[in-house]
């Protein structure tokens, strides 16, 4: 298939691109590099050597309708068309979304509408969308099924939820359109080569990148947000899923559902929850490094526990997470060791370290 990946240079986009090339798909990646580095493209080229698929890249912002339309026009000029779009591009920092809501609605919501308009213009009728378990808000019961009550608690979460509604409305109006909404739980891990991984800019918001930066000596200690949750050890419980499993979920959803009109909604998680302290212990064992930590009050907006019922994806897509906690942690650790400053060069990293220290 010919597939457009927005946000294709990002963490989940780059891993999914590789999985799609391994299946022989022809890709066009677009990204504005607001949260990624061009170095990703070199790594993708190397890793995809010998694979049946291939990729092109265009640097652009999805809010720029003209630039986006030019990519579709170039495809048409070559006598081809996109069979589908996988839409990863978006902003994802929950705290920042509260401080800059308009930026989040612009990129995540308006950007998606711009993309849908261009897709409509070029009659591209399949979109796979990166949604989030955050649309469930504070769970009333666990595990979360796709039918569980929703109620996102952050601007970020509401931006994802709004797009889900927009896609439902567009499917209702366009009988040929297929929208696959994938609600990710907590993506972690890295490519086993150590060449692709998560490269947060500045201080990581998420648990595993923070732990791995402590283990590698880039940060002194982990702050554990809350030890008084109603969980077995008092710390927050989440459904961590390996990014390779997530990538495989996209491949299956795309290959099976793109020609089936309507909105299709799936949780992508493992169904297994781990606490913060269990993640710390797993990382300590795999890395052999101590992970100093201290406890602090709960982080505003955090829920006590969140994990998926992944039965629908298993039954309807034949998809099930294959990789376990040790895989997630050892692949993260390999990536962190091989790329202690992420994708940035040593020079850029010096600048970043100075800025970060000023913040801390």
**Under rule CB under 6 A, residue 157 binds ligand NAD:** no
Place of tokens 């439902």: 168
Q: Is 122 a catalytic residue?
A: no
Q: Count CA atoms within 13 Å of residue 181 on its CB side.
A: 20
Q: Which does 187 bind (CB under 5 to 8 A by kind): ligand UFG, ligand NAD, none?
A: ligand NAD
- With CB cut-offs between 5 and 8 Å by kind, which of ligand NAD, ligand UFG, none does residue 342 bind? none
What is the phi/psi pair of residue 252, to 5°? -65, -45
Site string for ligand NAD, 100-139 (x = CB under 6 A): -------x---x------------------x-x-------
Give the one residue of 4, 29, 31, 309 binding ligand NAD; rule: CB under 6 A: 31
Among 99-107, 182-190, 254-262, 313-321, the segment contacting ligand UFG (CB under 6 A): 182-190
Cα gap 3→304, rounded to integer Å: 38
Answer yes or no: are the C-beta atoms of 104 and 91 closer than 8 Å: yes
Largest CA distance in the chain: 60
At 239 the three-state DSSP class reads: coil
Footprint of ligand UFG on 220-279 (CB under 6 A): 222-225, 236, 238, 276
Q: Locate 304 and state its tokens.
A: 């006590």
- Kindly tell me which of 143 and 232 has the beta carbon lying closer to ligand NAD: 143
Q: Tell me: does residue 327 bind ligand NAD (CB under 6 A).
A: no
Task: Give the containing element (helix H, strand E) for 137.
Answer: none
Contact call for residue 269 and ligand NAD (CB under 6 A): no
Active-site residue, from 11, 104, 136, 156: 156
Q: Dig out the tokens for 131 from the structure.
A: 């949604």
Give whole-number Cα distances, 58 to 30, 32, 179, in Å: 5, 9, 24
Joined together, the tokens standing for residue 328 give 């997630």
Choose, by CB under 6 A, the member of 3, 5, 12, 155 that binds ligand NAD: 12
Q: How many residues interact with ligand NAD (rule CB under 6 A)?
A: 26
Chain-centroid distance of CA 324 in Å reads: 18
In the list ligand NAD, ligand UFG, none, the entry touching 223 (Cβ below 5 to 8 angstroms by class) is ligand UFG
Among left, alpha and beta (phi > 0; psi -120 to 50; other), residue 50 is left
Residue 90 binds to ligand NAD (criterion: CB under 6 A): yes
CB 233 within 8 A of CB 275: yes
> Do the bridges between strand 222-225 and strand 54-59 make them parallel or antiparallel, or are there none, so unpaired?
unpaired
Q: Which one of the spans 32-40, 50-58, 77-85, 307-315 is the region binding ligand NAD (CB under 6 A)?
A: 32-40
Closest-by-Cβ residue to ligand NAD is 10
Residue 210 contact among ligand UFG, ligand NAD, none, beta carbon within 5 to 8 Å by kind: ligand UFG
Binding residues for ligand UFG (CB under 6 A) = 92, 94, 132-134, 157, 184-186, 205-207, 210, 222-225, 236, 238, 276, 299, 302
Where in the sequence numbering do the catalytic residues fall? Answer: 156
């Amino acid at each position: 298939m010919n597939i457009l990946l927005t946000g294709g240079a990002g963490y989940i986009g780059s891993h999914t691109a590789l999985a799609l090339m391994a299946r022989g798909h022809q890709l066009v990646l677009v990204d504005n590099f607001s949260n990624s580095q061009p170095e990703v493209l070199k790594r993708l080229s190397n890793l995809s050597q010998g694979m049946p698929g291939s990729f092109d890249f265009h640097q652009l912002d999805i809010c720029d309708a003209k630039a986006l339309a030019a990519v579709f026009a170039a495809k048409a000029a070559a006598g081809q068309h996109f069979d589908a779009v996988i839409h990863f591009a978006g902003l994802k920092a929950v705290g920042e979304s509260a401080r800059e809501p308009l930026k989040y609605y612009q990129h995540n919501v308006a950007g998606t509408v711009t993309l849908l308009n261009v897709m409509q213009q070029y009659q591209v009728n399949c979109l796979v969308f990166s949604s989030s378990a955050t649309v469930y808000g504070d769970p009333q019961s666990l595990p979360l099924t796709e039918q569980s009550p929703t109620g996102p608690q952050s601007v970020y979460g509401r931006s994802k939820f709004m797009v889900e509604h927009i896609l439902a409305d567009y499917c209702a109006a366009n009988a040929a359109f297929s929208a696959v909404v994938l609600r990710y739980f907590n993506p972690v891990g890295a490519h086993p080569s150590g060449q692709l991984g998560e490269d947060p800019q500045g201080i990581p918001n998420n648990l595993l990148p923070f732990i791995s930066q402590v283990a590698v000596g880039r940060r002194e200690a982990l702050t554990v947000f809350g030890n008084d949750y109603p969980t077995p050890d008092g710390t927050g419980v989440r459904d961590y899923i390996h990014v390779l499993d997530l990538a495989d979920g996209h491949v299956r959803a795309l290959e099976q559902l793109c020609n089936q009109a309507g909105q299709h909604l799936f949780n992508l998680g493992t169904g297994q929850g781990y606490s913060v302290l269990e993640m710390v212990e797993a990382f300590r064992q795999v890395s052999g490094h101590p992970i100093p930590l201290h406890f602090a009050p709960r982080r505003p907006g955090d829920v006590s526990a969140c994990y998926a019922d992944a039965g629908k994806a298993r039954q309807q897509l034949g998809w099930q997470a294959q990789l376990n906690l040790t895989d997630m942690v050892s692949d993260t650790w390999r990536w962190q060791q091989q790329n202690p400053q992420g994708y940035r060069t040593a020079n850029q990293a010096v600048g970043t370290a100075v800025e970060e220290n000023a913040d801390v």
